[in-house]
Amino acid sequence: MSDSAEPRGDRIAKYLARAGVASRRDAEKLLADGAVKLNGKPVTHPATFVSAGDVIQVHGKVVDAPDRTRVWRYYKPEGLVTTHRDPEGRPTVFDKLRQQLPRVISVGRLDLNSEGLLLLTNDGALARRLELPATGWVRRYRVRVYGHPDPAALAALSRGVTVDGVRYGPIDAAIDSRKGDNIWLTVALREGRNREVRRVMAHLGLPVSRLIRVAYGPFQLGTLERGGIEEIPPRILRQQLPSDVAPAVPQRHRSKPRETSGAA
CATH number for 142: 3.30.70.1560
- Give mean pLDDT, residues 209-238: 95
- Let me know whether 20 and 76 are in one domain: no
Statement: residue 250 has pLDDT above 50: no
- Give mean pLDDT, residues 140-150: 96
- Let me know whether 127 and 146 are in one domain: no
pLDDT band for 251, please (50, 70, 90 cuts): very low
The residues annotated as belonging to the active site are 111
221 located within any domain: no
CATH number for 112: 3.30.70.580
| Overall domain count for the chain | 3
- Let me know whether 151 and 211 are in one domain: yes
- Other C-beta atoms within 10 Å of 53: how many? 8
CATH number for 34: 3.10.290.10
- Let me know whether 114 and 142 are in one domain: no
Domain that holds residue 39: 12-62
198 located within any domain: yes
Could you give the CA distance from residue 62 to residue 251 in angstroms, rounded to a whole number? 30
29 located within any domain: yes
7 located within any domain: no
Tell me what the pLDDT averaged over the chain comes to.
86
pLDDT digits 0-9 by tens, 158-182: 999 999 999 999 999 999 999 888 9
- Side chain identity at 152, as an amino acid letter? A
Could you give the CA distance from residue 42 to residue 22 in angstroms, rounded to a whole number? 18
Between 148 and 245, name the one with better pLDDT: 148
pLDDT band for 258, please (50, 70, 90 cuts): very low
Could you give the CA distance from residue 30 to residue 42 in angstroms, rounded to a whole number? 11
